[in-house]
Chains A and B, each alone.
Chain A
């Protein structure tokens, strides 16, 4: 792709990896706690054998999942690109499965910045864009950049196509 043209160039905030790892770790820890409780209950009340097998299987999967989510955070940061110009919002993401999206500015219905607790701690924001067909999120940007991007998109999206 992009053999003869410029793809999107802008990258996410460097803190993206940190933020993703933190949120993934929180999610994994919660998952492990729940699994741990279930495993304990299984041992304590000697539930049926197959329940134990399923729980052990889930444990293995979650360990693999947690490791993968950390590796993925690095890869995702490396692969994420976005760009805006007067006409299009361009998004590119994904490592194993690459995804390129091209959204005309005139079709954007709304744009917003969002901030969760982890993002707030690092002074970051995500920008989400709603179109007639779908919604897209640019996940981790420095707050000022996010606000600027939001305003820019809002400005470009104000131009309306003659609808036919």
Chain B
């Protein structure tokens, strides 16, 4: 139990800082670019600017004095309002996941920000603390999680339980140097360096107009081969170093851990983010592999939560268990941290006839592209009537993609679990439980009826709502899928009021 109290005093500073940051552009215009107020427009602008800032400043102070929060055994109570008072109560049981974000600002003052996300929509979907001491944030997170274990627990045993739970936290993964290297190559982050350099150059050019000088330097450089070689070698080394550094900053301090009830993911070297979710609130698991990752045997595991995964405007992608896990390790980890989930390695393939449906269904992209090409008839490779080459190439690519999709699509229903894999270039394996699926749909087009096929779709809670499906499964499977979903009565618990 945490009695009603005010937010952290640094919140005022943080609000002011955010306001300044968001209006930085206006500030620059009013005070830097037009340093001397020649026009009355700028003068009035400045006056308005000061008024707005003054009012905002007073508001921040009043806000700090009037806004309070309180935690009791089961819920948050938030009190706010300067003139119109309001109290908001959010039960802990509605909290889906906890996001923590420590930006440079927070680092500077040894504080952090934390947000408790619910599955609701709209502005008030989260209980958010923009600035809070690290100790307090930890205490709150433990407080709400310990209540999840046992609603009727009172103060002192719950704190003891917290201690106990804390010690049993198991660390499942921390990237080694090898992992970082692999990650930096797989994410192709070394390719970013040269475009970044070019955009930097163009910005400098915009301000200083150095094009003439650089032209001279450029011709001097390409006139001698050894300077060219040195520069190329330097660029490659710099690119690789930059890529590794970037990957390290992003994924360096990754840590996946879990205790009996919750999963914790922390990452980031400078901007630290942390994500935690109760195991029973994981709505689904998704294992994603791009082509490059498939070749290198890596995969990304994502946990689906019904709560928001972003912090403010930033999307943090925090629900991912390290994006570059070796496939085998990924599967192991899923069973380690989510023992109630089962990933079945062997799945069923689509029948041959669904390949025909895929191949023969009209591709609107191709039809439109071909129509446009037919109309303009551009010359390709110097061939006057070469437009059909492009059209044929596009058709081949589309066929290849559909064929890949057919090869990759697999599915199975295993007791309480549905599992399917789809995708042509990037594949995604989706696993969810019957009680987490909130709606199902089966559709059959006229061709599918003719061939004895159907398409199935599951809907899961997430932000936004997640639709997953497989096209062209045998109708018998669709039938058993429908019945399988009806069997969810076996797992759901009914709330007793």
Tell me the A residues contacting B by CB distance below 8 Å: 1-5, 87-88, 94, 96-104, 106-107, 131-134, 159-164
Chain B residue nearest to A86 (CB atoms) is B489
Report if A1-B478 is in contact (Cβ < 8 Å); known contacts: A160-B494, A163-B93: yes
Can you list 12 A-B contacts (CB < 8 A)? A3-B479, A100-B443, A102-B439, A106-B492, A131-B438, A133-B438, A133-B465, A134-B439, A134-B459, A160-B497, A161-B494, A163-B94
A2 to chain B, nearest CB (A): 7
Are A161 and B440 interface neighbours, CB within 8 A?
no
Are B482 and A164 interface neighbours, CB within 8 A?
no
Are A5 and B483 interface neighbours, CB within 8 A?
yes
Q: Interface size (B, Cβ < 8 Å)?
A: 36
In the bound assembly, the distance between CA atoms of A99 and B491 in angstroms comes to: 26
Report if A101-B441 is in contact (Cβ < 8 Å); known contacts: A3-B479, A106-B492, A162-B494: yes
The residues of A that contact B444 with a CB separation of less than 8 Å are 1, 97-98
In the bound assembly, the distance between CA atoms of A94 and B443 in angstroms comes to: 9
Report if A98-B495 is in contact (Cβ < 8 Å); known contacts: A132-B461, A163-B93: no
Give the residue of B119, B439, B476, B493 whose beta carbon is less than 8 angstroms from that of A162.
B493
B93 to chain A, nearest CB (A): 7
The residues of A that contact B461 with a CB separation of less than 8 Å are 132-133
The residues of B that contact A4 with a CB separation of less than 8 Å are 479, 483
Are B482 and A1 interface neighbours, CB within 8 A?
yes
Report if A160-B495 is in contact (Cβ < 8 Å); known contacts: A102-B486, A132-B461, A133-B465: yes
The residues of A that contact B88 with a CB separation of less than 8 Å are none
Is B449 part of the binding interface, using a Cβ–Cβ cutoff of 8 Å? yes
In the bound assembly, the distance between CA atoms of A160 and B439 in angstroms comes to: 15
Chain B 460-497 interface 0/1 with A at a Cβ cutoff of 8 Å (1 = within): 01000100000000011011001101101100111101
The residues of A that contact B476 with a CB separation of less than 8 Å are 3
B303 to chain A, nearest CB (A): 14
Are A104 and B438 interface neighbours, CB within 8 A?
yes
Are A102 and B443 interface neighbours, CB within 8 A?
no
Is B280 part of the binding interface, using a Cβ–Cβ cutoff of 8 Å? yes
A136 to chain B, nearest CB (A): 9
Is B149 part of the binding interface, using a Cβ–Cβ cutoff of 8 Å? no
B91 to chain A, nearest CB (A): 10
In the bound assembly, the distance between CA atoms of A107 and B440 in angstroms comes to: 12
B281 to chain A, nearest CB (A): 6
The residues of B that contact A87 with a CB separation of less than 8 Å are 486, 489
Chain A residue nearest to B445 (CB atoms) is A97
The residues of A that contact B441 with a CB separation of less than 8 Å are 99-102
In the complex, the 8 A-B pairs of residues with the closest C-beta atoms, listed nearest first: A162-B493, A160-B495, A164-B280, A100-B442, A98-B444, A133-B459, A133-B465, A96-B446
In the bound assembly, the distance between CA atoms of A5 and B441 in angstroms comes to: 17
